[in-house]
């Protein structure tokens, strides 16, 4: 959770809330492919909480906004390296402190106005000046200026090699037309440059129509309708009987059976999310490195993964999935209860140890995983009390440091900075466990400003070895993205960052 | 009658103020920080402080309440933390779906309960009575989410007769409206109907044992007439009461059924606002539910005097 595009945020996310405009239809068109003839119907699990890209933090909102707005740069669909979008290219000055983005000159907003550098300056300054959700992404940004209508210059206070990922990682950094917030209510209306225009959004569904003047070429379908079907069994039924064409709300236990089923096309690929457990450094005996290492040695990641996600995940001892450029193959722990007992003995801590493991029903996989972890730690003398909380309470206790241990995930990571920095640097904004290692701090700070990719990877790999050895996080697994659609639907690409883009999709 | 109504409305106002105070107070005690929930998990302290200030949550509780109550008097229930939309609009947007489902469910419930309860009472301990007892126990104890999913799998999945869920307004697509209404109305109707069946049975049984019924029978009045004129009419009072309670319950949103059938009603909204600690929306929804209960109670009381004129004379 923790990621901009996640449910996480969510709290919101997983829930739906409201929408706009007057009381309207949900229309789950009974029998045929719903909506009009050439409208794609997607079943998503929740309603967008609101549609202002700079304000919302909910994944259901970004599922919609991905198709409506653009950013200067975007992650490539395969490996998530940053590519041109509204910017055709960019250059960095010798000292790494000035970034110059060249903009496309053939882009119009949905209201017909032309896109230029002033819109970029307005959008970024709106986030910075009003301290909106993603202001943290501009932490090193000193100024954003329009050099001419086709050129934007961003000055930073220190080299920021991940700037493209920061401003293009997701549609929370969308470009709005200058003055948009004063002209329309962005919580319910949208003026983007993306392939689809927002037609309506209410408690039942969100409807988009194709934007014929889209700079990338008009989309193949006439529109997209997002219907909110929270219950996975109902969403799957709707897909199977043709009410909807696409869904990402699939009962996890049915994923492997569906892979071989004819009436449904299902894909499951590794995501950029990771799930982990961590222990409180301020609460004995978890401040004891041997105790933490004993836990890391006793936990069988494969069994936890299987219980939490069935087949659709890969166990991992570090955060970054294995096919990523920045992945580390460091995996020092072999599940071994005798070795774990030895470590506990060495720690000198009297047994049994009582450990409260805080999880949340907002993410049911944490509850299942915690039960498996509890059963694996009990034989070595650690009695785990699984505390299942609602997410709001969970977050409160995390923020107050009121826990022995907890399990959660970080979703939507693009750059290694997202995976490691704020979680492990001393007093980092996401370092709730209270980890502090000067060597890790040095490596993370150096990596954050290192512009050579290979050197940067080496720095992160050194840092992650210390993080894993100290068990700042006990990494568990990288889940898959699982999505299914109606057979014969083409032109859709499932992405590791769970961005959902229907620009080039074609209905059967 | 006018004085009676006025008195009741006055009482209702006091109850509503009481409810709003209690809800406001309770929200202060519940753990969970709406600002953190709205921001997600990656944010800076400056962003947190800015949103806290915009939300007004940095003000003293008493002042928050006074501001809220003052606005509420003018019909302004505030703005949702999460969506930035006016609470009044959010609630009104979901009202049609909730009303539709509630009244359809009560209809299903009565269609089940009145015949079944009456038959059971007329033939106590018969096969019909025992069957009705088993069925109503079943209806009360089967979890509604389970029944909902089973119905979806059968009627939307295997048979493909009905859509799996959703809602369209009657004015837009009458057939689609009806198709989507059937399954959720059956699930909630069966649950309510099971409760009401028990009441109908005991109430009819009680009236059957009364002197005036025996007199009517002794006079040689036809059974059908006795039943219609003397029994059912007298058995109506408790039925109206329990139906009113069931209706009020249905109007405050049937959360689980709404979620399974993707039905955009008030129950979903209330649940989401609890999970997101969206205080203004929760406050607005609870106030509306309280209002619904008060209005229905009033209507039920007024109905009493219609059904049994002796009550009005008292």
Helix (H/G/I), strand (E/B), else coil: A102? strand
From CA A499, how far away is CA B225, in angstroms rounded? 69
Interface pTM, i.e. ipTM: 0.85
User: Of A17, A23, A231, which is closest to B260 when you measure between CB atoms?
Assistant: A231
Contacts of A187 in chain B (CB under 8 A): 83-85
pLDDT at position B1 is 62
From CA A77, how far away is CA A503, in angstroms rounded? 13
CATH of segment(s) A73-183: 3.90.76.10
How, if at all, do strands A246-247 and A265-270 pair? Answer: unpaired
Q: Are B204 and B231 in contact (CB under 8 A)?
A: yes
Hey, are the CB atoms on B47 and A240 less than 8 Å from each other? no
Contacts of B152 in chain A (CB under 8 A): 233-234, 237
Hey, are the CB atoms on B163 and A19 less than 8 Å from each other? no
Going from the C-alpha of B44 to that of each of A1, A164, A430, B50, the distances in angstroms are 16, 20, 10, 10
Q: Are B78 and B284 in contact (CB under 8 A)?
A: yes
From CA A228, how far away is CA A374, in angstroms rounded? 35
Q: Which of A273-277, A324-328, A479-483, B216-220 has the lowest mean pLDDT?
A: B216-220
The yes-or-no verdict on residue A36 having pLDDT over 70 is no
Helix (H/G/I), strand (E/B), else coil: A115? coil
CATH of segment(s) A16-69+192-268: 3.40.190.10
Q: Which of residues 244-303 of B touch A (CB under 8 A)?
A: 259-264, 268-269, 271-273, 275-278, 281
Rg (CA), chain B: 24
> pLDDT digits over A307-339, tens only?
999 889 999 999 999 989 999 999 999 999 999
Interval A27-45 mean pLDDT: 66
Which has more pLDDT, B304 or A490?
A490
Q: Which of A5-9, A321-325, A344-348, A413-417 has the lowest mean pLDDT?
A: A5-9
How, if at all, do strands A141-148 and A98-103 pair? Answer: unpaired
> pLDDT digits over A403-435, tens only?
999 999 999 999 999 999 999 999 998 999 999
Contacts of A22 in chain B (CB under 8 A): 93
Task: Pull the structure tokens for residue A297.
Answer: 């040695």
Q: Are B24 and B291 in contact (CB under 8 A)?
A: no
- According to DSSP, residue A10 is labeled B
> pLDDT digits over A181-213, tens only?
999 999 999 999 999 999 999 888 999 999 999
Hey, are the CB atoms on B165 and A26 less than 8 Å from each other? yes
pLDDT at position B312 is 61
- According to DSSP, residue B142 is labeled S
pLDDT at position B235 is 82
Contacts of B179 in chain A (CB under 8 A): 30
What is the full per-residue pLDDT of chain B (314 aa) written as tens digits? 677 788 888 888 898 889 989 988 888 888 888 888 888 878 888 889 998 888 888 888 889 899 888 988 888 888 898 888 899 999 988 888 998 999 999 999 999 999 999 888 888 888 888 988 898 888 889 888 899 999 999 999 888 899 988 898 888 889 989 999 999 999 999 989 998 998 888 888 888 888 888 888 888 888 777 877 778 878 888 888 888 888 888 887 688 899 899 899 988 898 889 888 888 999 888 888 888 888 888 888 888 878 877 776 55
Helix (H/G/I), strand (E/B), else coil: A428? coil
Contacts of B50 in chain A (CB under 8 A): 130-132
The yes-or-no verdict on residue A7 having pLDDT over 70 is no
User: What is the nearest CA distance from B261 to chain A, expressed in angstroms?
Assistant: 7
Identify the band that residue A371 occupies on the pLDDT scale cut at 50, 70 and 90. Answer: very high
From CA A2, how far away is CA A428, in angstroms rounded? 14
Phi, psi of A144 (to 5 degrees): -125, 120
A155 CB burial (10 A radius; 0-12, 13-18, 19+): middle
Helix (H/G/I), strand (E/B), else coil: A129? helix
Residue among B164, B269, B270, B285 with most chain A CBs within 10 A, to mutate: B164
Q: Degrees (nearest 5) of the Cα angle B201, B202, B203? A: 95
Contacts of B272 in chain A (CB under 8 A): 15-18
From CA A470, how far away is CA A287, in angstroms rounded? 10
pTM: 0.87
Hey, are the CB atoms on B272 and A240 less than 8 Å from each other? no
Q: Which of B165, B169, B196 is nearest to B182 (CA)?
A: B165
Q: Which of residues 77-136 of A touch B (CB under 8 A)?
A: 130-133, 135-136
Domain ranges of chain B: 16-87, 91-313
From CA B60, how far away is CA A185, in angstroms rounded? 29
pLDDT at position B309 is 76
Contacts of B37 in chain A (CB under 8 A): 9-12, 391-392, 395
DSSP letter string, A301-349: HHHHHHHHHTTSEEE-SSSS-TTSTT------PPP-HHHHHHHHHHHTP
Q: Are A361 and A367 in contact (CB under 8 A)?
A: yes
> pLDDT digits over A67-81, tens only?
999 999 999 998 899
Q: Which of A220, A183, A218, A225 is nearest to A202 (CA)?
A: A225
Contacts of A231 in chain B (CB under 8 A): 149, 165, 259-260, 262
- On the question of a cis peptide bond just before residue A285, with omega within 30 degrees of 0, the verdict is yes
CATH of segment(s) B91-313: 1.10.3720.10
Q: How far is Cα of residue A108 from the mean position of the Cα atoms in its chain?
A: 29
The yes-or-no verdict on residue A25 having pLDDT over 70 is no
From CA A232, how far away is CA B311, in angstroms rounded? 52
User: Of A135, A393, A430, which is closest to B46 when you measure between CB atoms?
Assistant: A135
Contacts of B46 in chain A (CB under 8 A): 131, 135
From CA B262, how far away is CA B94, in angstroms rounded? 12
pLDDT at position A15 is 30
pLDDT at position A311 is 81
pLDDT at position B27 is 84
Helix (H/G/I), strand (E/B), else coil: A4? coil
Q: Which of A79-83, A109-113, A242-246, B92-96 has the lowest mean pLDDT?
A: B92-96
pLDDT at position B313 is 56
Q: Which of residues 59-98 of B touch A (CB under 8 A)?
A: 80, 82-85, 89-90, 92-97
Hey, are the CB atoms on A131 and B49 less than 8 Å from each other? yes
From CA B267, how far away is CA B270, in angstroms rounded? 5
Domain ranges of chain A: 16-69+192-268, 73-183
Contacts of B82 in chain A (CB under 8 A): 12, 17-18, 49-50, 58
Q: What percent of chain A has pLDDT over 90?
A: 85
Chain B residue at shortest CA distance from A203: B264
Q: How far is Cα of residue B96 from the mean position of the Cα atoms in its chain?
A: 13
Q: Which of B102, B99, B8 is nearest to B297 (CA)?
A: B8
Interval A87-108 mean pLDDT: 96
Hey, are the CB atoms on B272 and A18 less than 8 Å from each other? yes
> pLDDT digits over A143-152, tens only?
999 999 999 9
Q: Are A320 and A416 in contact (CB under 8 A)?
A: yes
From CA A302, how far away is CA A27, in angstroms rounded? 42
Q: Output the average pLDDT for chain A.
A: 90
The alpha helices in B209-254, defined as continuous H runs, are 211-218, 223-225, 233-251
Residue among A7, A12, A422, A431 with most chain B CBs within 10 A, to mutate: A12
Q: Backbone dihedral region of B256: left (phi > 0), alpha (psi from -120 to 50 degrees) or beta?
A: alpha
From CA A294, how far away is CA A275, in angstroms rounded? 19
User: Of B33, B164, B273, which is closest to A243 when you measure between CB atoms?
Assistant: B164
User: Of A49, A131, A185, which is closest to B46 when you measure between CB atoms?
Assistant: A131
Q: Does B187 touch chain A (CB under 8 A)?
A: no
């Amino acid at each position: 959770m923790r990621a901009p595009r996640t449910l996480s945020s969510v709290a919101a996310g997983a829930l739906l809330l409201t929408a706009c405009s007057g009381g309207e239809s949900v229309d789950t068109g009974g029998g045929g492919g719903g909506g009009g003839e050439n409208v794609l119907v997607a079943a998503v699990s929740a309603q967008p909480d609101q549609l202002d890209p700079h304000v919302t933090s909910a994944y259901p909102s970004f599922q919609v906004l991905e198709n409506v707005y653009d950013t200067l740069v975007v992650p490539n669909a395969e490996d998530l390296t940053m590519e041109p979008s509204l910017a055709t290219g960019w250059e960095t000055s010798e000292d790494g402190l000035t970034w110059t983005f060249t903009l496309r000159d053939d882009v119009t907003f949905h209201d017909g106005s032309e896109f230029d550098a002033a819109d970029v300056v307005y959008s970024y300054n709106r986030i910075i000046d009003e301290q909106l959700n993603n202001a943290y992404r501009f932490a090193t940004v000193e100024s954003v200026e329009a050099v001419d209508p086709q050129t934007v210059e961003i000055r930073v206070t220190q080299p920021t090699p991940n700037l493209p990922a920061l401003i293009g990682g997701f549609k929370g950094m969308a470009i709005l037309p200058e003055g948009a917030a004063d002209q329309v209510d962005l919580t319910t209306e949208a003026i983007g440059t993306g392939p689809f225009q927002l037609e309506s959004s209410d408690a039942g569904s969100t409807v988009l129509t194709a934007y014929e003047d889209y700079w990338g070429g008009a989309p193949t379908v006439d529109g997209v309708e997002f219907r909110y079907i929270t219950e996975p069994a109902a969403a799957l039924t709707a897909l199977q009987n043709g009410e909807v064409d696409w869904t990402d709300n699939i009962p996890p236990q049915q994923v492997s059976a569906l892979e071989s089923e004819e009436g449904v096309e299902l894909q499951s690929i590794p995501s950029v999310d990771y799930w982990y457990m961590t222990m409180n450094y301020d609460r004995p005996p978890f401040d004891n490195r041997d105790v933490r290492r004993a836990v890391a040695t006793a936990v069988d990641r494969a069994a936890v993964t299987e219980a939490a996600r069935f087949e659709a995940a890969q166990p991992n001892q570090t955060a970054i999935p294995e096919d990523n450029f920045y992945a580390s193959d460091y995996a020092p722990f072999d599940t071994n209860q005798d070795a774990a007992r030895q470590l506990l003995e060495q720690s000198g801590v009297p047994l049994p140890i009582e450990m409260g493991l805080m999880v949340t029903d907002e993410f049911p996989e944490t509850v299942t995983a915690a039960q498996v972890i509890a059963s694996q730690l009990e034989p070595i003398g650690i009695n785990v009390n699984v505390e299942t909380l609602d997410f709001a309470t969970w977050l409160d206790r995390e923020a107050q440091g009121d826990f022995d241990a907890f399990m959660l995930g970080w979703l939507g990571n693009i750059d290694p900075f997202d995976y490691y920095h704020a979680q492990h640097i001393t007093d980092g904004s996401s370092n709730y466990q209270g980890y502090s290692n000067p060597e890790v701090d040095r490596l993370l700070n150096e990596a954050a400003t290192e512009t050579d990719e290979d050197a940067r990877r080496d720095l992160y790999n050194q840092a992650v070895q210390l993080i894993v050895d100290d068990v700042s996080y006990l990494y568990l697994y990288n889940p898959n993205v699982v999505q299914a659609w109606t057979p014969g639907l083409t032109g859709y690409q499932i992405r590791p960052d769970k961005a959902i883009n229907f620009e080039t999709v074609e209905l059967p | 009658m006018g004085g009676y109504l006025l008195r009741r409305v006055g009482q209702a106002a006091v109850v509503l103020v009481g409810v709003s105070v209690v809800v406001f107070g309770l929200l202060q005690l519940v753990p969970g920080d709406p600002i953190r929930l709205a921001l997600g998990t990656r944010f800076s302290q400056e962003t947190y402080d800015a949103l806290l200030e915009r939300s007004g949550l940095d003000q003293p509780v008493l002042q928050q309440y006074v501001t809220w109550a003052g606005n509420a008097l003018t019909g302004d229930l505030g703005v949702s933390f999460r969506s930035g939309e006016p609470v009044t609009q959010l609630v009104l947007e979901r009202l049609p779906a909730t009303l539709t489902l509630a009244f359809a469910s009560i209809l299903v419930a009565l269609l089940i309960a009145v015949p079944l309860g009456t038959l059971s009472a007329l033939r106590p301990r018969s096969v019909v009575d025992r069957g009705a007892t088993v069925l109503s126990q079943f209806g009360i104890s089967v979890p509604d989410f389970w029944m909902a999913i089973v119905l979806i799998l059968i009627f939307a999945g295997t048979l493909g007769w009905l859509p799996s869920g959703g809602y369209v307004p009657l004015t837009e697509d009458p057939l689609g409206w009806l198709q989507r209404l059937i399954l959720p109305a059956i699930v909630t109707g069966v649950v309510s109907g099971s409760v009401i069946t028990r009441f109908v049975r005991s109430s009819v049984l009680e009236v059957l044992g009364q002197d005036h019924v025996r007199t009517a029978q002794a006079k040689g009045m036809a059974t059908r007439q006795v039943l219609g004129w003397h029994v059912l009419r007298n058995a109506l009072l408790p039925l109206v009461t329990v139906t009113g309670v069931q209706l009020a319950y249905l109007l405050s949103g049937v959360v689980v059924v709404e979620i399974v059938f993707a039905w955009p009603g008030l129950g979903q909204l209330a649940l989401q606002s609890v999970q997101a600690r969206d205080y203004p929306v929760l406050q607005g929804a609870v106030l509306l539910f309280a209002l619904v209960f008060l209005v229905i109670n009033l209507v039920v009381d007024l109905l009493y005097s219609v059904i049994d004129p002796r009550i009005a004379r008292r």
